[in-house]
Structure formats: structure tokens, C-alpha cells
Amino acid sequence: MARFKLLIEYDGSNFHGWQVQKGAQTIQGKFFDACKIVFKAEKFDFYGAGRTDSGVHAIEQAAHLDVKTNLQARQIMLALNDELPASINILGIEPVDADFHARHSAVSRSYIYHISRRRTAFGKKYVWWIKDKLNPALMQQAAGSFVGMHDYKSFGTAEKEDASTLVKMESVNVSYNDNNIIIRIHGSHFLWKQVRRMVGVLAEVGRKNLSAADINNFLENYSDVPAKYTAPPSGLYLEKVLYNHNEPIQDIIPLLNL
């Protein structure tokens, strides 16, 4: 049995998230279908680095595949891509040691969220259009409150979490131009819906309804307020899964030229 690391991009618009669900179309489910065709009777295991929710996209999701095969890595990539829908694409594949695990070997993850500052005919599935005027400079100032080790209980969902809700946030940055606001959030790991709630709270800061002081309060004391501001999944992208603390992340660029 050989193990391969895969880098994958996908448009999550028409999928019910990453994880296999009975009666629902998912990213992992499409990979299972493709693997059954490519590897025929051979057994295989396929694990992702994280579970993206329904409607969430990936610029570079990571996964590992265990399979007994004589095919070389590039042959596997080409064969699987032939069987996958156009909205899912393997960017790269390489053999890795048996102790590599797509999820457990990761040291951090980076997400970006794309807010459109204007109505768009093409990007509805890929951005969050906010009609209200936002102040991105205030959003950037407040984003610094998230950096460091904090308890994100207010930003997660209790029934979905493990015992600890502590998360180390490496950086939270806001970039913008006339039509776009791009928020990059880089952390050790993330609770369910955490990123979308962080974005929603920052949007309220941009509307001048919340402040950095409110964010600090949410981090120090449990509150259900962030849940009320959960951003839609359409603008969220898993940008990169990092396996080395020194691994660089490229500069933020708008995903769509809006």
C-alpha cells in the first residue's frame, strides 16, 4: 500500500461540503467514485486535511490517498481528473511517507474570505456582496484583536467542538480596493463556522456597529452574538494547508476582478 499527498482545488457551490454524506453530493464522495473507477477492485483510503462546509471553496485543499497500485503519481492524477467533475481538480500529487497524514501532520491553515463592495452578475456564488458602506481600515485595525492564542468559544458551535476551544491565530489581515475586500485568516486550526463568524463580526466593525473592544469581550467572555453575524459560505475559500512553519503564503489578490 502506497501513500500519496494530493493538492486539490474545487468550486464548492454545488456540493454539500467535503465529507461524505448519505444522499448528498460531496467533494469526498466524488473522489470515492473516481477512485473506484481508476483502481477497480483495489482497496483505498482517502482523507482530507479538513472538512469544508456546504458552499465553501478551496484554492488548495490537501488530502492523502492510500492505495496499492503500479501507477505513478502523475498517472494517478490524470486518471482521477478524467473521472472527477470539472468543478474539482487535482493540482498536484506526490508519494509521501506512511507517517504523513493530511490532517494530523498539518501545522496551520489559511483561509481567505472575499467580500464584494458592489453587486456582481458573475460572482454571486463566490463572494459576499454587502450593500452597506464598509470602512475596511476599521476592519483591519480590529482584526489585530484576533491575533495570538485565544478562546474562540464564542465563535464556534458547542455541539461540534472537542474539549478545547483554544486556537492560535497567526495573522488576520484585511486588504481592499474599490470593489473588493479580502480577509485572510491564518491559524493553527479552526472551530466549526469560526472563520465565517470572525468575518461577520469584522463586517459589523466595518459598518461601525461593533468595535475592537467588542471582539476582545467575545474572546474573554462567552457570547452568542458572533453566531448572529455568521457570514455566508459563498465568499469563503480554504487557501492553503501548511505542513512547515516556514512555508510561505503568497500575497493576497482579489479572486474576481469585480
Catalytic residue among 53, 99, 151, 251: 53
Q: How many CB atoms lie within 10 A of CB 173?
A: 15
d(CA 43, CA 45): 7
53 is catalytic: yes
Active site residues: 53
